[in-house]
Amino acid sequence: MISALCACGILLSGMLMHPTRETLCELQWNDESQSIEISFRLSLGDEERLLKESKSRLQRWESEPTEGPDTKIELKPQQVVFGRHMTFSNDESCPPAETRSNAAQFRWIGRQEEGIHVWWFLEYSSAKTDKPNGDGATSKPVTIKPPTYVRCDLFAEAARTTPHPNGHPPHDAFQNTFIVLGHPVPVSAVITPREPVAKLQWPE
Q: Give mean pLDDT in consecutive 10-residue pieces for the chain, a chain of 204 residues.
A: 46 45 93 94 94 86 66 83 93 87 94 97 76 53 82 80 59 83 92 91 92
pLDDT recorded at residue 17 = 43
* Predicted TM-score (pTM) above 0.85: no
Distance (Å, whole) CA 187 – CA 68: 37
What single-letter DSSP state applies at residue 53?
H
The answer to whether the beta carbons of residues 175 and 168 sit under 8 Å apart is no
Predicted local distance difference test score (pLDDT) of residue 11: 40
How far from the centroid of its chain's Cα atoms is residue 131's Cα? 28
Backbone φ, ψ for residue 18 (5° rounding): -120, 85
- CA-based diameter of the chain, in Å? 65
Give the model's pLDDT for residue 9: 47
Whole-number pLDDT of residue 44: 95
Interior CA angle at 91 toward 72 and 56, to 5°? 40
